[in-house]
Structures are given as C-alpha cells and as structure tokens.
Amino acid sequence: MPARRLPWFLAFGLASSSALAQAPTGPQTQSGPSLPEVEMDEPPAPLVPEAPDRLSGHFIAGLGAAVQAPFGQLTRAETLNLGAGFGGTLDLGFGLSRTATVGLWGSLFEFGSGQTSYAFGPSVAYHLVQGVRFDPWILAGVGYRSMSLDTAGVKRHFAGFEFAHVVVGGDYFLFSGFGLGPWLDFDSGVFTTRSHYNASGEATGRLPGIATHFGFSAGLRVVLDLPGR
C-alpha cells in the first residue's frame, strides 16, 4: 500500500516545485520607454532689466519763481527781520550718471524797496527714480550770498559764505524735454563782512562781522532737458 502511494507523492512534489518556480518573486515592472525624470528644484527667477538711463550726458536747466522768508542775524547785535520776499531761481546741471548731476545754482529776491539778496554757487543733485514721468530729486550745494539794505538814506551791504543750500523737489515731464514741479529750499550761511554807505554813495566803513542767517523758500519751476527723455 505505501509503495502504491509513492508515485502520487512524487507527482505532487514536482507540480508544487514547478508552480513555485513560475511564481513572481518581486514587483512587476512595466516594459516600454522610460519616463523623463522630473526636476524638483525651481528654476531661477528671471533678472529684472534696469530702467533706461535718461540722465547721463543730459543738460538740465530749471527756472523758478519763489517766495523766501529769511531770519537770523545781520550782526551779532541786529536781527534779520525783512519779512517775505519774492524772486526767482536758476539752476543748471549736467548728468554724470543715471542718478547724479553736477551744476550751478543761483537766486535773487527782493524784500521791498532797496532790500535785495542774491546768492550763487556749485551744487550736486541726486535723482531718486528712472524711467517715469515724475522725477523727484534732492540738491545740495554751497555758495556766496550778498544782501543790500537801504534804510533812512543809509545803504548797507552784507556778504558771506553760504554753507548749506538744500533743495527737495520733483519735476513732472509733460513732454520729452519739458517739465514742471514744486520745490522747497533751506539755506544757511554767515555774513562775514558788512559795508556802510552814505546817501551820496561814499563808503563810511567796512567792518568785519560774523552773523548766522537762515532762509526758507518755496516755489514752482519749469525745467528743460536736452536732448530730452
């Protein structure tokens, strides 16, 4: 009886071995072309191009009308009290770079009959933005100031060094080479000399003196830009 069952056990063992040999031993992979690898890193952001340079090599001229209020000292013993005066300003500049200009500034004000003041000197300006119609700027300079006063038949002349001329403004360009805009100005300096003249114009004395004066101005100007923006 055991001898008859032996062939059946052998046949079952061979079938089991064949089934195990044909069974998958791992995950099935799909045949065919491989998919491209996906980059996980983000691409770099594109560079933003600079705004066009509309200042280098340009000649700029500004002409303005303004009101000025001076205060401070004429001499160590005399207060500068003239009230508000009206006048004009002129500034000329040449563009050194896309943001900076160098040039000259000047102003002339009248505070009444025989009461005048003028000043001029070198300056440098910084322009804050590029490529837009509105051009805000800051100007700083130094210079020379002269003031003439005629009171009671006596003419007096004061002169000295202007050590601070600071202007903040902005120009809106209506056209390529023409703009207009407001500005505010702060000035400060010292009168180092003063002269007195009688009614006939003869000098009665030239006395040294040191007195500090200040001034606030506000106005509106037109500006020309060559060759244009």
24 pLDDT band, cuts 50/70/90, is: low
**pLDDT > 90? residue 199:** no
CB 121 within 8 A of CB 95: no
Backbone angles phi, psi at 57, to 5 degrees: 75, 5
pLDDT level of residue 112 (50, 70, 90 thresholds): confident
Predicted structure pTM score: 0.73
Q: Please state the φ and ψ torsions of residue 50, each to the nearest 5 degrees.
A: -70, 150
Instruction: Reply yes or no on whether the pLDDT at 14 is more than 70.
Output: no
Reported CATH class of domain 59-142+161-187+215-226: mainly beta
Tokens standing for residue 23: 């069974």
Phi, psi of 29 (to 5 degrees): -110, 140
